[in-house]
Amino acid sequence: MQSIRFNVLPSRVFLISRTILLSALVSFLFTACTTLGPDFETPDSDVSDEWIDIEDKNVTSKSSDVADWWEVFNDPILDSLITSAYKQNLTLQIAGLRVLEARAQLGIAKGSLFPQVQQARGGATYNTISENAANTSVGDLNYWDFDAGFDASWELDFWGKFRRGIESADSGLLANMAAYDDFLVSLLAEVANAYVIIRTFEKRIQLAQENVDLQKRSLRITEVRFQNGATTELDVQQAKTLLRNTQATIPQLQTGDRQARHALSTLLGKPPSELNNILAGVNEIPVAPSEVATGIPAELLRRRPDIRRAELEAASQSALIGVAKADLYPSFSLFGSLGLRSSGGTDLTRTGKDGADELFEGDSLEFFGGPAFSWNIFNYGRIKNQVRVQDARFQQLIVNYQDTVLRAAREVEDAMVGFLRAQETEVFLSESVDAAERSVELALLQYRDGVTDYQRVIDTQTSLVGQQDIWTQTRGDISSNLIAMYRALGGGWQIRENNDYVTDETKDTMRERTDWGKILAK
């Protein structure tokens, strides 16, 4: 077996040792480095102590458990829709993939702390020198040049540039996770609201069809009375006009119902045709509980994902100020190259060796390295203005955070007042519908007996149609406003706890295409 031996001269060993010692000394001097830029602190924000309607009997300030808020409706179909949307919504899957992207970006940022250049190299170059060029009268004009070695360069994180970069990437990852939760909160609320809208349309269609049947009976009464000479044709035509108007509302309601189903199917990640079996059964509007626990406004800061996202985006930008500031100062680095190099002519009769044979001899060893610095001294204000750009962006995100907190409180207040007032409205409308139904009965009886004209029947039936439709919509509004309140309170994202952001099937597909290492781990 052939062995390779390096014959290194003592003077060369001393030179290499001295260079390594100098580099180690510089590295030691720079260990006590600093970190530029501001340390992030959560911005101040105005938060009320209590909700405006906290004194209402249907609102309690006790801490609210809004994790599985849809269960308050006691609707198994709604429960299944929520689960299906969480597992299959395509936009949510995109948000989960952004989390993986942010994990990879964090890995890139962490890698910047280590030597930025670590390259193995090697090559063989054949050279032919012109015989007519200067200083070519002596030596071999045709020769091979061989080299192999390792190069390294390490910019020291003296000003905290790379640490701030990691800080920014880490906050960016957390912000993407909060963005996923924020979309999940909106998704589940939209699914529940679409379901309520569908059930409301179904109920409105049912009531319209019942009124059509009622008005058909009234039309037959007018036709009989007209044939018997008890009334004129005017009653018949009025009855027919009312009937046709009521019938005309049904296709419009059916269109709204179909469009709501299409919207729901998109949220579920399913074709619209698959919803019919899922929604089959009782078409009652989900009934909201009369009382709701809202907690206190300060809980929004801890629970709402969009507030967390706004805070983390500001934290990520804050770190970029330090990254930009580092360019104002000199950067220090260590560099080195260790390798073997030899050259040999094509005429082997003179030495008996070519360059390749000499490459692994001790005299072929070469090394250089040491400390270095660079400093952008004359940059005409570009670096300072870049720092100002980053600072302005940071201030924008601070204001955005404060605005997000205010908007969150407003959304809760809007949904709460809508929920409470819709409950009050529903009580009055329910009594109004009862009175309208009784008015229709009395008007028909009086018309049969000839006590009143048919205009009274038309008025009462028209009123009944309108009152029933408004009452039904209000019942749906109660549930929709409660859903909006739970959404504003930041409930629902907890469904993903103990689950990863990407499904196992997606992970398997991505592993087949790319080596993801531990990034795909939960």
CA-to-CA distance for 169 and 310, rounded, in angstroms? 15
Question: Would 73 be classed as within a structural domain?
Answer: yes
Final residue of a domain: which of 343, 374, 405? 374
Final residue of a domain: which of 308, 342, 374? 374
pLDDT at residue number 239: 93
Question: Would 292 be classed as within a structural domain?
Answer: no
Final residue of a domain: which of 374, 405, 429? 374
Question: Which two tokens mark 31?
Answer: 């260990």
- Burial bucket for residue 5 (CB in 10 Å: 0-12, 13-18, 19+): exposed
Please tell me the total count of domains within the chain.
2
> Which residues, 6 or more positions from 131, have their beta carbon under 8 angstroms from its beta carbon?
141
Number of residues written out for the chain: 522
Question: Which two tokens mark 368?
Answer: 């250089």
pLDDT at residue number 251: 97
**245 and 340 share a domain?**
no
CA-to-CA distance for 203 and 472, rounded, in angstroms? 7
Strands of the sheet containing 331-345, edge to edge, are 117-128, 142-155, 331-345, 365-374
CB atoms under 10 Å from CB of 500, counted, come to: 15
pLDDT at residue number 126: 87
**421 and 354 share a domain?**
no
Question: Which two tokens mark 168?
Answer: 């920014």
CA-to-CA distance for 215 and 436, rounded, in angstroms? 14
Phi, psi angles (nearest 5°) of residue 368: -150, 150
Question: Would 66 be classed as within a structural domain?
Answer: yes
In contact, 490 and 305? CB cutoff 8 Å:
yes
CA contacts within 13 A on the Cβ side of 205 = 18
Question: Would 520 be classed as within a structural domain?
Answer: no
The pTM of the whole model exceeds 0.75: yes
**129 and 166 share a domain?**
no
**219 and 341 share a domain?**
no
Question: Which two tokens mark 330?
Answer: 């000199």
What is the end-to-end Cα distance of the chain in Å, rounded? Answer: 49
Orientation of helix 161-227 relative to helix 382-448, angle to 10°: 20
**235 and 317 share a domain?**
yes
CA-to-CA distance for 343 and 356, rounded, in angstroms? 8
* 14, 324, 449, 517, 520 from 507: Cα distances, Å: 54, 36, 77, 11, 7
**92 and 137 share a domain?**
no
CA-to-CA distance for 451 and 444, rounded, in angstroms? 10
**343 and 214 share a domain?**
no
CA-to-CA distance for 192 and 82, rounded, in angstroms? 7
Phi, psi angles (nearest 5°) of residue 57: -65, -20
Q: Domain holding 188: CATH number?
A: 1.20.1600.10
Give which of 389, 403, 387 is closest to 311, Cα–Cα. 403
Orientation of helix 233-268 relative to helix 161-227, angle to 10°: 160
**80 and 228 share a domain?**
yes
Question: Would 295 be classed as within a structural domain?
Answer: no
Question: Would 468 be classed as within a structural domain?
Answer: yes
**204 and 126 share a domain?**
no
**307 and 396 share a domain?**
yes
* 223, 236, 437, 438, 452 from 442: Cα distances, Å: 19, 19, 9, 6, 10
Q: Which domain holds residue 311?
A: 33-113+157-287+300-330+375-513
**393 and 507 share a domain?**
yes
DSSP letters spanning 426-443: HHHHHHHHHHHHHHHHHH
CA-to-CA distance for 45 and 401, rounded, in angstroms? 8
Question: Would 96 be classed as within a structural domain?
Answer: yes
Regions of the chain where pLDDT drops below 70? 1-33, 133-140, 345-356, 362, 522
Question: Would 390 be classed as within a structural domain?
Answer: yes
pLDDT at residue number 63: 74
- Please give the single-letter amino acid code of residue 441: E
**73 and 143 share a domain?**
no
Helix ranges restricted to H, 339-381:
348-351, 355-358
Give which of 254, 259, 261, 256 is closest to 275, Cα–Cα. 261
pLDDT at residue number 139: 64
Q: Domain holding 146: CATH number?
A: 2.20.200.10
